[in-house]
Amino acid sequence: MSKPQVWTWEPNSNSGKPLFALCQKGVEFDYHYVNMTDFEHHSPEYLARNPAGTLPTMEHDGKVFTESTPVCEYIDAAWPDQGPRMVPPDPRERYRMREIGRRITRHAAALSVLGWHNFVGPMARSKTQEERDRIIARIPTKERRIAWQTAMSATFTETQLAEARAAVGRGVMEMEELLTQNPFLAGPAYTIADLDAFANFYSLPMTVPEYANKEKAPRYIDWLIRIYNMPGTMEAFGLARSLARRAFTLKAELEAGRQPVQVTLAEVQRQDAEAKGGGASR
Amino acid sequence: MSKPQVWTWEPNSNSGKPLFALCQKGVEFDYHYVNMTDFEHHSPEYLARNPAGTLPTMEHDGKVFTESTPVCEYIDAAWPDQGPRMVPPDPRERYRMREIGRRITRHAAALSVLGWHNFVGPMARSKTQEERDRIIARIPTKERRIAWQTAMSATFTETQLAEARAAVGRGVMEMEELLTQNPFLAGPAYTIADLDAFANFYSLPMTVPEYANKEKAPRYIDWLIRIYNMPGTMEAFGLARSLARRAFTLKAELEAGRQPVQVTLAEVQRQDAEAKGGGASR
């Protein structure tokens, strides 16, 4: 089979899912970095591959794959004999994996409010009006142009931010509760439910330390450490050039039993500046 | 294997998905009608089975299944030799089924605005304040109590309704475009992507006739007629006691080449009144 090609941003949230799946299974692939904070996913080259302008995009054997969780199920099925199986063979366990994956992923919307507030929004607003107009103009649909225009200047009230933090906190508690029953979210073994949840929530001890700490959520913290130490996880984070480099600090601090401190926007922007350049092969 | 038990509302939207899957595969099951417009899904008996209070709930071999699309994948896998296979064996085709299913289902949120405006909202508002207070009081979480309290009194502006209609119309056009490539949404054969889309969108010729008509969307209309005529489809609609009985009119009118006319709220309420009673076995 041919080598998969992946166009995506950081190993973070939806962008990260195929990177974790491929690295954890040990499948070779070419990685093409798409700088989301520069809105490169709305560039004509990217839209030619994925007209919806969503991240990630994977190509394999002439087919295009863009829905991040189904992409991971595909990767597991396409390389059944390579690395761990991430989809259980029993239909009841497969159902449970998909149920838990969907339930936990619903908390990601609240987290994206915090991600926007802390990083993406300030980065977008640091651009000149001319750059912003150019970025908006190439967004594929009118609906999404309006949505991004609003988002670019959007700021959140303290109440909205507190509500988003509380909603993410409920996600932490839901994971904690599931982990009282099993070592992984959907049962005894690692599945794509864990992959999905980890891709979205690997950094919560930085983002919502008031919930994601070893007193309130000890099983969640242990689960994070276990996944940070799985073969392939840090290899995936090694592809990061910006925001997701915080994973190295997170891993070290959690292993030392300390609560990690949120990286600053300035630190992320410094890494972004260093990373300017073309695609890389892995 | 034991006989599955299904607690759900009408063969309509998420509630209908396991009913279509079981009937189309010819799997025997017990059907327990949950009257959503009376908010029976928030009753203590229902919450004991499914604490989230979502519809549907299926039980089989001692396990509980509540996520409507993964339930259908489970049904196909648990009865592999009964009726048609709804999940293709090739991993690329399985991916495509899941991608298309998710893409098309995204248009269902706009449709639910119209469903609420036409039926569910007026039915909820027709209750006495005392009934409404009782209904709200038993909703499992504070968040959802607030959401339902708002929804109960919510009305939409003409602009909001026009936007929802246009969004549903874009869904019709997306299905039409996919059906220029293949006879079913995700390829040459019926899959769970078709089941999902049909459960959500079987009634659009009534709801948005300005888009879902044989001039603008001839392939979508043909696809509807094809699925209305699949073994098991009308058997599932035969379980309807209220809103989804419109499927019989829809099928007859579409087959006669006519545009069906939306059923009235009064007609649905008359059927509801007739249907008052306990569960039924199939």
CATH number for the domain that contains residue B62 = 3.40.30.10
Is A85 contained in some domain?
no
Residue A261 at interface with chain B, using a CB cutoff of 8 Å:
no
Of the three residues A45, A78, A111, the one that is the final residue of a domain is A78
- Alpha carbons within 13 angstroms on the beta-carbon side of residue A250 total 29
Range of the domain at B272: 91-276
A103 touches chain B (CB under 8 A): yes
* Residue A269 lies inside a defined structural domain of this protein: yes
pLDDT value of residue A282: 43
Q: Could B70 and A103 be called an inter-chain contact, meaning their C-beta atoms sit closer than 8 Å?
A: no
Per-residue confidence band for A280, with pLDDT thresholds at 50, 70 and 90: very low
How far apart, in whole angstroms, are the C-alpha atoms of residue B282 and residue B273? 21
pLDDT in tens, B151-201: 787 788 999 999 999 999 999 999 999 999 999 999 999 999 999 999 999
Q: Do B71 and A95 touch (CB under 8 A)?
A: yes
pLDDT digit string, tens, across residues A190-235: 999 999 999 999 999 999 999 999 999 999 999 999 999 999 999 9
* A176 DSSP 8-state letter: H
Cα(B193)–Cα(B39) distance, rounded to whole angstroms? Answer: 28
Minimum-distance CB partner of A102 among B61, B67, B74: B67
Asked whether the beta carbons of residue A61 and residue B99 sit closer than 8 angstroms, the reply is no
Residues A165 and A239 both lie in one domain: yes
A279: region left, alpha or beta (phi > 0 left; psi from -120 to 50 alpha)? beta
Mean pLDDT of chain B: 92
**Residue scoring higher pLDDT (A128 or A256):** A256
- My answer on whether A38 and A164 are in the same domain is no
Residue A100 maps to a domain: yes
Residues facing B32 on adjacent strands: B7
| CA–CA–CA angle B261, B266, B272 (5° rounding) | 110
State residue B277's pLDDT score: 52
Bridge partners of A30?
A: A5, A281
Residues B257 and B133 in one domain: yes
Tell me, yes or no, whether A282 lies in a domain. no
Q: What is the mean pLDDT of residues B86-99?
A: 97
Alpha carbon distances (Å) from A20 to A222, B166, B215, B279: 19, 38, 46, 47
Q: Are residues B191 and B219 in the same domain?
A: yes
Whether B243 is covered by a domain: the verdict is yes
Residue A281 clears pLDDT 60, i.e. is over it:
no
pTM for this predicted structure: 0.92
Contacts A–B by Cβ distance under 8 A: 56
Nearest to B65 among A66, A67, A95 (CB): A95
Judge if B72 and B134 occupy the same domain.
no
If you search the block for the tokens 């863009």, which residue do you land on? A66
Residue A28 near residue A6, CB atoms below 8 Å? no
What is the rounded (10 degree) CA torsion for A240, A246, A251, A252? 120
Closest chain A residue by Cα to residue B163: A143
Of the partner residues A66, A78, A102, the one whose CB lies closest to the CB of residue B91: A78
Interchain CB distance below 8 Å, B95 and A73: yes
Chain A touched by B77 (CB under 8 Å) = yes
pLDDT in the model for residue B279: 44
Amino acid present at B42: H
Backbone angles phi, psi at A166, to 5 degrees: -65, -40
Distance CA B98, CA B186 (A): 9
Query: Do B141 and B72 reside in the same domain of the chain?
Result: no
The helix or strand, by DSSP H or E, that contains position A166, with its residue range, turns out to be helix A158-181
Same domain, residue pair A200 and A100: yes
Q: Is the pLDDT of residue A179 over 80?
A: yes
- Structurally, chain B folds into a number of domains equal to 2
* Per-residue pLDDT at A279 exceeds 50: no
Give me the pLDDT at residue A174, please.
97
Distance CA A23, CA A26 (A): 5
Chain centre distance of CA B61: 25
On whether both A96 and A70 belong to a single domain, the answer is no
